[in-house]
Amino acid sequence: MEKINIMINGLPGNVAKTMARSGITDNRFNVMPFSLTGQEIEDKTITIDQMRFELVKPDVRDEKIIRIKRQFNSFITIDYTHPTAVNSNALFYTQNQIPFVMGTTGGNREQLEQVVKKSSTPAVIAPNMAKQIVGFQAMMEYAANTFPGLFEGYTLQVSESHQNGKADTSGTAKAMVGYFNQLGANFDVNKIQMVRDPEVQRKEWKIPKEHIAGHGWHTYTLTAPDGSALFEFKHNINGRDIYVSGTFDAVVFLMEKLNKPDDSKKLYTMIDVLNRP
């Protein structure tokens, strides 16, 4: 099989670095030596596992992309940039007809979707690229729609632990709370217990030392009013490997779509990737 050219945008960010490192050793891909980055980044290049990447800033990207497209006549972009860049990047990709996988969260999501839908450029957009978590969320959504009120009267407790650098509440936890609310368990997202203290993470949560700097652990507990029943759901992710695997699956999925250009649908989610035959 021919290798798929991929451009990983968002270097020198941590997630983009992880994607680059894994992409370089993945036989399915040919990682391109360019990465779109923010205007504030001072370095002009970055070297990852002996491969040098040119960092392309917003003020030069319009002319640079012409030369990149001359060199690689077909490629797919992976976007792990910054929430503030989400919408302008999507516009840039669609205007230049660069199919993309967008793993960056934040930005104006509705605008993001509209831009892709109106374009001729296919894209996979997902705030969470971990296939198993996406599948679990789909399960919860199904239950919420099919059995509203099933947990009427139950008390919900939600706690999540992430690396110290993560300031906001887990978006996945917030989405889950929405499903639990539909299922009848009243709960305010502001009551989500956020754990960011490395000591608590190591001692109480027993999170492996090597993942204190990068993890996402979630626990949802439903308790019946009379204490007669307890339901608990956990999804604990260590490191970033699960996101790499999902992102690369999305790239392969997109390539398949590009090879079948009769499909008029342009906007895909990880659910589409999961449902790939």
Residue (146 or 264) nearer to a second copy, CB: 146
Cα(121)–Cα(168) distance, integer angstroms: 32
Residue (112 or 177) nearer to a second copy, CB: 177
Residue type, 130: A
Please work out the total of residues on this chain that contact a second copy, with binding judged by CB under 8 A.
Answer: 34
Residue (232 or 256) nearer to a second copy, CB: 232
Asked if residue 178 binds a second copy (CB under 8 A), the reply is no
Asked if residue 229 binds a second copy (CB under 8 A), the reply is yes
Segment near a second copy (CB under 8 A); pick from 37-45, 50-58, 116-124, 230-238: 230-238
What positions carry a catalytic annotation? 162, 166
Asked if residue 235 binds a second copy (CB under 8 A), the reply is yes
Dihedral sign computed on CA atoms, order 252, 80, 83, 90: negative
Please choose, from the candidates 181, 183, 172, 186, the residue with its C-alpha nearest in 3D space to the C-alpha of residue 144: 183
Instruction: Specify burial of residue 28 (Cβ count, 10 A radius: 0-12, 13-18, 19+).
Output: middle
Asked if residue 19 binds a second copy (CB under 8 A), the reply is no
Q: How far is the CB of 26 from a second copy (least distance, A)?
A: 15
Asked if residue 213 binds a second copy (CB under 8 A), the reply is no
Cα–chain center distance at 175: 14
Segment near a second copy (CB under 8 A); pick from 71-79, 98-106, 156-164, 235-243: 235-243
Phi, psi angle pair for 158, to nearest 5°: -130, 130
Asked if residue 239 binds a second copy (CB under 8 A), the reply is yes
Q: How far is the CB of 56 from a second copy (least distance, A)?
A: 31
Asked if 119 and 90 touch (Cβ cutoff 8 Å), the reply is no
Which of 98, 242, 250, 251 lies at the binding interface for a second copy (CB under 8 A)? 242
DSSP states of 87-148: HHHHHHHHHTT--EEE----S-HHHHHHHHHTSS--EEE-S---HHHHHHHHHHHHHHHHST
Cα(181)–Cα(176) distance, integer angstroms: 9
Asked if residue 209 binds a second copy (CB under 8 A), the reply is no
Q: How far is the CB of 247 from a second copy (least distance, A)?
A: 14
The structure tokens listed for 48 are 């990852």
Residues 111-150 that bind a second copy (CB under 8 A): 130-132, 135-136, 138-140, 142-143, 146-147, 150
Given the rule CB under 8 A, which residues bind a second copy?
Answer: 130-132, 135-136, 138-140, 142-143, 146-147, 150-151, 222, 224, 226-239, 241-242, 274-275
